[in-house]
Homo-oligomer: A and B are copies of this chain.
Amino acid sequence: MNLMEYQGKELFRRVGIPVPRSQHCKTADDVAAFVEKNPGNWVVKAQVLMGGRGKAGKIKFAKNADEARAVTTDILATPMPPNRQNPNGEPINAVLVEETLDIALEAYCAIAIDRTTKKPVVMVSKFGGMDIEEVSEKHPESIAKHFIDVAVGYSPFIGRELAFASELDPGFRKQFPAIVAGIYDLFFKYGAKLVEINPLALTKDGRVIASDAKIELDDDALYKNPEFKDWQAVLPLDEDEALAAAAGLGIRNFRRFPGDVGTMANGAGLAMGTMDAVKNAGGEIANFLDVGGGANAERVRKCYELVVNHTPAKVFFVNIFGGITRGDEVAKGIVQAMKETTSRKIPLVIRLTGTNEKEGREILAAAGMTPVETMDEGAKRAVELASA
């Protein structure tokens, strides 16, 4: 789960990472009222998950209440412009009004999980404020990394070493170890997979402040902090995620593509393999769908309807290889789902093997469905049916 900037900064506050003074507002009137009460130079920032707010004109400055009202109205007037994952853009429901900082220098600081060393890695660069991918291309030597031994955890030398190794300006140094301590604390306490401060600002009066906040929380750890359920509620899902959630699937278990072969498989690996097989058979897939374990009738019906109603699929290729998922249950699910669905009917191609395969095939046969033998055969058949 990716957090919005204002949520990220709230977590920064809790772990003692300095952030600019700010107010989260939902209307232009609220923004104007806040600026009226707190005179000064403010910046109004759209609260969205999509990147590119600056380029999209969704970050604007204001020196008084009238300006604040005007720029907020402007920001809220239109959604973020569309991109591939968000073909309708992203609605803007709130802004963050924040003090403008008199910035001397901008650095970059992040913590993430490194799969190879199986450790959290802290990354620091003296080039902040630009996309870190750009820094990595232009100044790869500028990125200092430290892989943390989680048995020890954070210790201040890590911050010191990173500051020296990345040649951070001495102005950062004194406060920097506490910043790294903060992101490590946040990372573990709240189960984050990524915490990024970009830019980490050094102000002209010598303060080190997190000017932006990008945090990805581990969905599997959300249960440890029940309040995050509320935080999640305000986060927008993209359209595929919203459809997946409505069908009772994990939000990452469904994604649409422009083809006409609908697919469903159990396990992300097999679901990807099914897509590959359809491509290899000369077809174009309509969707990726991992039904997960426990494919009962209700679940199968919902998946079928999701594909039939929300993609242009002409055929539904069901590819099940049973391990923890039992073939007889899946078969029962398919038969019952097809009985119960009220959606339009498209042909099914079923490949069912693995645990309780025999029982499953018997159930399908009894319902007049003949499963194919292999994935490639199924893909070929599905592509044929789609082109028919």
Which residues of B lie under 8 Å from residue A152 when comparing CB positions?
A: 151
Residues of B within 8 A of A151 (CB): 151-152
Q: Report the interface size for chain A: residues with CB under 8 A from the other chain.
A: 2
Q: Is the interface of A mostly helix, strand, loop or mixed?
A: loop
Instruction: Identify 2 residue pairs between A and B in the complex whose beta-carbon atoms are under 8 Å apart, listed by A's number.
Output: A151-B151, A151-B152
Shortest distance between the CB of A231 and any CB in chain B (Å)? 24
Closest to A149 in B: B151
Q: Quote the shortest CB–CB distance from A382 to chain B (angstroms).
A: 48
One complex includes copies of this chain to the number of 2
Residue of B nearest to A152 (CB): B151
A residues near B (Cβ < 8 Å) are 151-152
Closest 2 CB pairs of A and B: A151-B151, A151-B152
Residue of B whose beta carbon sits closest to that of A153: B151
| Nearest chain B CB to A151 CB, angstrom units | 4
Question: In the complex, A151 Cα to B151 Cα: how many Å?
Answer: 5
For the complex, what is the distance from the CA of A68 to the CA of B152, rounded to whole Å? Answer: 51
Closest CB in chain B relative to A217 CB, distance in Å? 22
User: Closest CB-CB distance, A153 to chain B, in whole Å?
Assistant: 10
CA distance A151 to B149 in the complex (A): 10
Instruction: Report how far A151 CA is from B152 CA in the complex, Å.
Output: 7
Question: With A and B bound together, what is the CA distance between A151 and B153 in angstroms?
Answer: 9
Q: Which residue of B lies closest to A150 (CB)?
A: B151
A152 to B151, CA, bound (A): 7
A152 to B152 Cα, complex, angstroms: 10
> A151 CA to B150 CA in the complex, in Å?
8
Which residue of the partner chain B has the closest CB to A151? Answer: B151
CB distance from A155 to the nearest CB of B (A): 14
Least CB distance, A185 to chain B, in whole angstroms: 14
Q: How far is the CB of A148 from chain B (nearest CB, A)?
A: 13
The CA of A152 and the CA of B153, in the complex, are separated in Å by 11
How near does chain B come to A383, taking the closest CB pair, in angstroms?
51
Chain B min CB distance to A124 (Å) = 26
How far, in whole Å, are A362 and B151 apart by their CA atoms in the complex?
53
Distance from A246 Cβ to chain B, minimum over Cβ atoms (Å): 36
Q: With A and B bound together, what is the CA distance between A152 and B150 in angstroms?
A: 9
> How distant is A139 from chain B, measured CB to nearest CB, in Å?
36
Interchain nearest-CB distance for A387 vs B (Å)? 57
CB distance from A178 to the nearest CB of B (A): 15
Distance (Å) between the CB of A179 and the closest chain B CB? 20
User: Least Cβ distance of A15 to chain B in Å?
Assistant: 16
